[in-house]
Amino acid sequence: MKRALTLALMVCCLAVLLAGCKQQPAPQPVPQPTAEQYFQYGMQAFQQENYPQAQAQFEAAVQLAPAMADAHYYLGLCYFKQNMLRRAEQSFAACLQLVPGHVLAHEALGLLYYAMNDFPRAKREFEQAAALYSVNAQVYYYLGAIAMSENRCKDALGYYKRCLEIDSSLVQVRTEYDAAKRRCAGGKPAPQPKPATSFQGGAKALDPANF
């Protein structure tokens, strides 16, 4: 009798346990971030100057959404910041393939080519940016330097003037503008352009963080 009662109790307990297990919901899978969320995570990291982390987030964004032009652009800036120039070039080009009128990408690609001493391609991108009404002073500064190297005095002076109209605090540009006016008046050949490292009284040159 005891044995039968014990067995009955065990069966009841097992039934209760099984019923409890059935009532527990199965764990839900953790949703993966969307391309837009990866982009926002990337922007947060970029603003904190954590470029490797921002790069990883933007890479995830473009993998999920290859047509997200701004993700390609900011990914290019991350590569540029880390001196991965060829990767930066590919990202800026991908952005422009999606949005040919992306003025910031033209500016960035021009600065990248200028940093690589590829002045013809830098000129092409800066001219595209200027045609899109760029308000980046560096665009016109470098166009002026390139125009001077090609002995196009009138164009060079116009570019330097436009640069100073955008940012009159650029002491180095004003000095070069005055020197260019004297050189053009004297008919002397201009030196070849070279990448600048800084502007006195203004933003650093070749710094994509300023875009």
| Per-residue confidence (pLDDT) for residue 30, from 0 to 100 | 76
pLDDT band for 197, please (50, 70, 90 cuts).
Answer: very low
| Per-residue confidence (pLDDT) for residue 109, from 0 to 100 | 97
3-state secondary structure of 6: helix
| Per-residue confidence (pLDDT) for residue 29, from 0 to 100 | 75
Pick the more confident residue, 77 or 8: 77
Residues 88-104, mean pLDDT to the nearest whole number? 98
pLDDT digits (tens, 9 = 90+) for 4-43: 544 444 545 545 445 555 555 667 777 899 999 999 999 9
Cα angle vertex 39, ends 33, 40, to 5°? 90
| Per-residue confidence (pLDDT) for residue 67, from 0 to 100 | 98
Distance CA 146, CA 138 (A): 12
pLDDT band for 105, please (50, 70, 90 cuts).
Answer: very high
> CA of 166: how far to CAs of 1, 53, 202, in Å?
100, 33, 11
Distance CA 186, CA 181 (A): 9
Distance CA 63, CA 57 (A): 10
Residue 195 has pLDDT above 60, yes or no: no
**SS3 sequence, 109-173?**
HHHHHHHCCCHHHHHHHHHHHHHCCCCCHHHHHHHHHHHHHCCCHHHHHHHHHHHHHHCCCCHHH
| Per-residue confidence (pLDDT) for residue 200, from 0 to 100 | 35
> CA of 184: how far to CAs of 80, 133, 163, in Å?
35, 27, 18
| DSSP tag of 194 | -
Residues 94-100, mean pLDDT to the nearest whole number? 98
Share of the chain above pLDDT 90, in %: 72
| Per-residue confidence (pLDDT) for residue 191, from 0 to 100 | 60
Residues 116-129, mean pLDDT to the nearest whole number? 97
User: Considering the entire predicted model, what is its pTM?
Assistant: 0.78
**Closest Cα to residue 121, out of 98, 96, 154, 99?**
96
Residues 128-132, mean pLDDT to the nearest whole number? 97
